[in-house]
Structure 1
Amino acid sequence: RQDPDVILVGEIRDLETAEIAIQSALTGHLVFSTLHTNDAASAITRLVDMGVESFLVSSSINAILAQRLVRKVCTNCSEEFTPGREYLAQVGLVPEDLGDRPLFRSRGCPECLNTGYQGRIGIFELMVMTEDLKNFILTTSDSNQIRRRALAAGDMITLRQDGLQKVMSGMTTIEEIFRVS
């Protein structure tokens, strides 16, 4: 007989797997799984569309994490630049957001095969399931409404927000973040 504390479900593809994962979570196990969706809020919609009752979804999930890979700027050929106000406005930033931090852009060199990028790094979207959000999920499974509610309450960090933090840290470019988010 086994009594695990943590369970990893490779991927939830059907109602049966979803029900087993949720039942395990409801009986006190920490359950991790994957689900193919475009963002964190869509995971709720996906589970409900599979046939899982919304009250089971809201009571069994603590957080949802979405991820994407973005290309890292090549450290050999990237160059600092100070973007203009118009450039920043296109991505929802103002110069004050950057402070005195420069941004980087990729040029391309033989080291990165003239792409300007070398390697990848993850950007992440985290939606924490607060009591308010759990109660809201009981009324709707619409991912856009769930996303708006989580953002308004400050219970969510979006892919784009995390990506822009990585841009300001010099790891990637604004163009790369907008390509994947």
Structure 2
Amino acid sequence: AKIVSVIIRHAVESRASDIHIEPFSNESRVRYRIDGILHNSLILPKSIHNSVVARIKVLAKLKLDETRIPQDGHIRLIIDAREIDFRISTLPLGATEKVELRILDQAKGLTNIEELGFNKQVYNTIKENIKRTSGIILLTGPTGSGKTTSLYSILNVLNKETVNISTLEDPIEYQIKGVNQSQVRPELGFDFATGLRSFLRQDPNIIMVGEVRDEETAELAIHAGLTGHLVLSTLHTNDALGAVFRLLDMKIEPFLLASTLRLVVAQRLLRRLCPYCKKETKLPEKVLSEMTAVMAQLPIEVVQAENLSIKNFEDIKTFKFYEPVGCARCSNTGYLERLAIAEAVVINDEIKELIINRRNELNITALKHSQLFVSLKQDGIFKVLAGITSIDEVLRVVEIENL
């Protein structure tokens, strides 16, 4: 019991999002995921692995004697006067089990939309579009790219007494006062599609669906967006345009998609350099010239809005660049906390026309002609030029040709 409480407390103090307790032939390994990256934390004797797992199973009210199939559970603990939830998942590995704990700190759950790290252009686009009373707004990106956090931040802005907000989640990660949050239970036949149907009879203004996973959910979301509801949801695509093609591939009629989809925001999470130990560094000329090439394609209005002078290679050379070092405050990782990089595509008249009539011409070039557009990689480089993160960190989450 003591070891488990030390593991959990240390994870919370280290700002971890997950704890992995893994059995190996001669030891048991404890790893924490901090700012999206797994770090070794403790090595325990193999002999106590099963008792550590058993203690966690007792706390999560799981069946102690069931080690042949995976189990899921939930623990709520008070740590340093904060209420913290843990989602528990066990996985059989031969004669023993691996345990994963997802840490859901209610105090950290709701982030103000201003604090997510969006650039001015994306931030203003989101603020404008969430004022609408109907249509669909989608957030897209791989698992762990911060989509749910962004959705919660948007709901927080919209959460007023005059509107009815209903959410359909799997699972509910954070409780939001004043919002009707519903957990799907697929094993009971209550999935996203069933839930959406019921929602439409609950007089909602705003509906949040955790994820558009299949054609049926996509069709119902489109229907809800068409009939006077604002629908917020997520998809797993690499970029914002990819979300449009994914929905078309889900057999959504192009004219219905064009008339309901309002905005797609693609995002990733970057680790911020630790402000206490980051150190200045020189970047190779090849990297600088590639950064110049990427940033040269930016609309001038965007560059002016960010107050940066980046017209050419000589300009880029004048910036200060930093690299991670590692100190006690950042647990020797060189990074502390994360922020979002994002690209936003507004479904304006030009894009609508392409969706309906000329799908094969819907590409990044058409996008740049139709609106001020900042790509994920350009936004990442903005964060490097601002000294917030390193170029290595940007390259970890987005591909930049030739680098």
Q: What's the TM-score, normalizing by structure 2?
A: 0.41
Indicate the RMSD between aligned Cα atoms, in angstroms: 2.2
Task: Say which SS state the counterpart of residue 162 (structure 1) adopts.
Answer: helix
Q: Hey, what does 2:315 align to over in structure 1?
A: 96
| Structure 1 residue 16 corresponds to structure 2 residue 216 | yes
Highest RCO, 1 vs 2 (Cα 8 Å, sep ≥ 6): 1
| 1:130/1:155 contact within 8 Å kept | no
In structure 1, runs of 5+ residues without a counterpart are none
Displacement of 1:110 in angstroms is 4.3
Structure whose alpha-carbon radius of gyration is higher: 2
Q: Hey, what does 2:390 align to over in structure 1?
A: 173
Counterpart Cα distance in 2 of 1:97 and 1:55: 44
Match of 2:343 among 125, 128, 132: 125
In structure 2, runs of 5+ residues without a counterpart are 1-200, 296-312, 399-403
Q: Hey, what does 2:87 align to over in structure 1?
A: none
Q: What's the TM-score, normalizing by structure 1?
A: 0.86
Displacement of 1:82 in angstroms is 5.2
Counterpart Cα distance in 2 of 1:140 and 1:116: 47
Q: Hey, what does 1:115 align to over in structure 2?
A: 333
- What is the count of residue pairs matched by the alignment? 179
Displacement of 1:51 in angstroms is 1.2
- Give the % identical residues: 41
| Structure 1 residue 157 corresponds to structure 2 residue 380 | no
| 2:354/2:362 contact within 8 Å kept | no
Q: Hey, what does 2:150 align to over in structure 1?
A: none
Counterpart Cα distance in 2 of 1:38 and 1:87: 23
| 1:69/1:122 contact within 8 Å kept | yes
| 1:136/1:146 contact within 8 Å kept | no
Q: Hey, what does 1:105 align to over in structure 2?
A: 323
Give the letter aligned to residue 103 of structure 1: F
Displacement of 1:83 in angstroms is 4.0
Counterpart Cα distance in 2 of 1:140 and 1:9: 29
Measured at CA, do residues 97 and 25 of structure 1 come closer, stay the same or move farther in structure 2, by a change above 3 Å?
farther
Give the letter aligned to residue 127 of structure 1: V
